[in-house]
């Protein structure tokens, strides 16, 4: 059965929601067969597959390309795509056009936008136009140059109050869910219990309505680079390396082709 934004809202309080990233058809197909609920084509494609040191160089054209590749796998999971760096801060017509491309050209079924209270008005207009929006609060990787580092959010009272206000504003604007990244776990719990829409956590503790991990982290494809909260559930990288090594040895020993 196809997962929709309606499906996800109904899951709140019923069972944990499972989300992962994917950037191409093979991973998307396998994740879909594992019955995850959401596949996010994240702008993390920049520092996982494209060799950048952050998400900032990822363009809208890149997101359209990778989202279309994932869509071709036709997963039953809800397919969401990131609105990349800066795009959500242009005038509304440009933001709307970016979302139009992600949905019409690429096949995304929702978009994810980093930002809180300040972006609530354009998010409300996007929802009115028929664009399902997944809000993103806490650590916003697109702001890493401003922050200067990756950090946890919500430890002090003022920051916690601001994040809760952001969450309520995005819910009021019509966001169907919130991604809470690197938020202090007790605050993530408060947000989850306060809003009526699902919260999906990453590095924000166990109290959210669901969890998301970057696929290369959970599959063990980036040894030594995964964040502390990202538990590897497989060591695919080692298996791939063994396969390449076995192939190299077979060719050099004239054992392949037979």
The angle at the Cα of 166, spanning 165 to 169, to the nearest 5 degrees, equals 85
Integer angstrom CA distances of residue 108 from 53, 212, 232, 238, 249 = 25, 18, 27, 32, 42
Distance in angstroms (rounded) separating the CA atoms of residues 139 and 254: 52
Cα(first)–Cα(last) distance of the chain, in Å? 45
Residue among 181, 184, 222, 238 flagged as catalytic: 181
Burial status of residue 242 (CB atoms within 10 A of its CB: 0-12, 13-18, 19 or more): exposed
Is 258 assigned a catalytic role?
Answer: no
Q: How many CB atoms lie within 10 A of CB 120?
A: 21
Annotated catalytic residues are 181
């Amino acid at each position: 059965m196809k997962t929709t934004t309606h499906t996800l809202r109904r899951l709140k309080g019923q069972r944990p929601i499972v989300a992962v990233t994917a950037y191409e058809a093979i991973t998307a197909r396998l994740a879909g067969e594992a019955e995850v609920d959401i596949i996010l084509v994240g702008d993390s494609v920049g520092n996982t597959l494209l060799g950048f040191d952050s998400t900032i160089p990822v363009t809208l054209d890149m997101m359209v390309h990778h989202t279309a590749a994932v869509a071709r796998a036709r997963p039953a999971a809800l397919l969401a795509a990131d609105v990349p760096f800066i795009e959500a801060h242009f005038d509304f017509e440009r933001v709307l056009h970016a979302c139009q491309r992600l949905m019409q050209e690429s096949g995304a079924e929702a978009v994810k936008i980093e930002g809180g209270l300040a972006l609530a008005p354009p998010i409300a207009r996007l929802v009115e136009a028929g664009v399902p929006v997944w809000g993103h609060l806490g650590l916003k990787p697109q702001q890493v140059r401003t922050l200067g580092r990756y950090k946890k959010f919500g430890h002090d009272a003022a920051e916690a109050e601001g994040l809760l206000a952001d969450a309520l504003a995005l819910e009021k604007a019509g966001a169907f869910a919130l991604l809470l990244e690197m938020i202090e776990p007790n605050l993530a719990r408060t947000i989850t219990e306060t809003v009526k829409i699902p919260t999906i956590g990453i590095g924000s503790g166990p109290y959210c309505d669901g969890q998301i991990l970057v696929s290369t982290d959970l599959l063990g494809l980036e040894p030594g680079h995964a964040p502390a909260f990202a538990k590897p559930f497989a060591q695919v990288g080692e298996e791939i390396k063994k396969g390449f090594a076995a192939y190299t040895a077979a060719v050099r020993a004239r054992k392949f082709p037979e």
